[in-house]
Structure 1
Amino acid sequence: MQKLYAILLGGGLLMSLTACPGLIDPADRAPLPQYKPLLMARAQLEQAVAVLPPRELHNTGKIYLRDPYIFINEQYEGVHIINNQDPEHPQPVAFLRIPGNVDVAMKGTLLYADSGSDLLTFDISNVQAARLLHRVREAVPELPMPETGEIPAEYQPQNRPADAVVIGWQKL
């Protein structure tokens, strides 16, 4: 008898959930925004890495603290380097331009960063003169489209110029 009550109660709960106004019918969902990939020729990508003067933050991503410095990702563009020795007055030091960058990691005086599908290693023992030490081509997955985490078929590598690398996505 208890088993019957459990089945009836469970069935009743399931039926009430289907009528629940809080659930969203997939047909009623707002469509995801459309994007197009930002492409760069591989030769241009490899020549674009540079240490530049500081610039304004506008589309930031991940933050990495390595006392006394803060490294802040600028989505798809590179890394801001900020001296935080005096937290009340942080001082921008430089901008490390890395097209297609969304992530960084550090160990000692080495900074690892993605650049499209490449993995770069920098010597940052002197942050104002960061030096690219090594590039491993195609070491990480290509940058996927935001929100879906995929690369649509029309933008797969076989459907674009042979030397083009995805360095970001632009909302249409």
Structure 2
Amino acid sequence: MRKLYPFLVSSGLLLSLSSCWRLVDPIAPVALPEYKPLLMARTQLEQAVAVLPPRDMHNTGKIYLRDPYIFINEQYEGIHIINNQDPEHPQPVAFLRIPGNVDVAMKGTLLYADSGSDLLTFDMSNAQAARLLNRVREAVPELPMPESGIVPTEYQPQNRPADAVVIGWQKL
């Protein structure tokens, strides 16, 4: 048994050292997704804001409650306006089309929403007939990609038309 003991100890050490080598093996790199920006000409962006009939929800984002209404963001497209006077039976009222919209806030009857890099102010005293009061161009940063990724060279800002505004991102 005494002769076997040094063999077992040295074998155990060798086995434990061999497992250390696995810890320093290089880790395979993770491929980052590529995105291209969805662009819209500024004149088209500014003319696209409109109050439309209600529509189905597909890719919702933030929710804002201002009794009796609920405002639900449709990512990059606009805001669903829902009358919640009877919470058992909420009624869609309208869809406020705002290209490039991801955020919404309210103070009193004023609704603030982003449209690409612009900040819009709406009078919501009549939610069925929302009225655009003001647009501040380039008030907020360009819409970021939804997750870490890469923008191929042909889609980077210096290669876009001068009047183009980012209103969303598409995974390639």
2:75 paired with 1:75: yes
1:122 maps to a residue whose letter is F
Are the equivalent residues in 2 in contact too, given 1:144–1:151 (CA < 8 A)?
no
Report the Cα offset of residue 150 of structure 1: 8.1
**Structure 2 residue aligned with 1:120:** 120
Are the equivalent residues in 1 in contact too, given 2:33–2:149 (CA < 8 A)?
no
Q: Deviations over 1:34-70 (max 9, x none)?
A: 2211100000000000000000000000000111110
Using a 3 Å threshold, how does the CA distance of structure 1 residues 121 and 149 change in structure 2: closer, same or farther? farther
- 1:1-172 equivalences under 5 Å are 19=23, 25=27, 27-29=28-30, 31-148=31-148, 154-172=154-172
2:152 and 2:105 map into 1 onto residues whose CA distance is 28
Are the equivalent residues in 1 in contact too, given 2:48–2:98 (CA < 8 A)?
yes
Report the Cα offset of residue 156 of structure 1: 3.5
2:156 and 2:165 map into 1 onto residues whose CA distance is 10
2:109 and 2:57 map into 1 onto residues whose CA distance is 24
1:82 and 1:161 map into 2 onto residues whose CA distance is 37
User: What runs of 5+ residues in structure 2 fail to find an aligned partner?
Assistant: 1-19
Q: Deviations over 1:79-101 (max 9, x none)?
A: 00001111111100000000000
SS state of the match for residue 55, structure 1? coil
2:128 and 2:146 map into 1 onto residues whose CA distance is 32
Give the TM-score normalised by structure 1. Answer: 0.81
Report the Cα offset of residue 152 of structure 1: 6.2
Using a 3 Å threshold, how does the CA distance of structure 1 residues 141 and 37 change in structure 2: closer, same or farther? same
Are the equivalent residues in 1 in contact too, given 2:69–2:81 (CA < 8 A)?
yes
1:76 maps to a residue whose letter is Y
The percent identity for this pair of structures is 87
Give the TM-score normalised by structure 2. Answer: 0.81
Higher relative contact order (CA 8 A, sep 6+): 2
Q: Deviations over 1:80-124 (max 9, x none)?
A: 000111111110000000000000010000000000000000000
2:116 and 2:149 map into 1 onto residues whose CA distance is 14
SS state of the match for residue 43, structure 1? helix
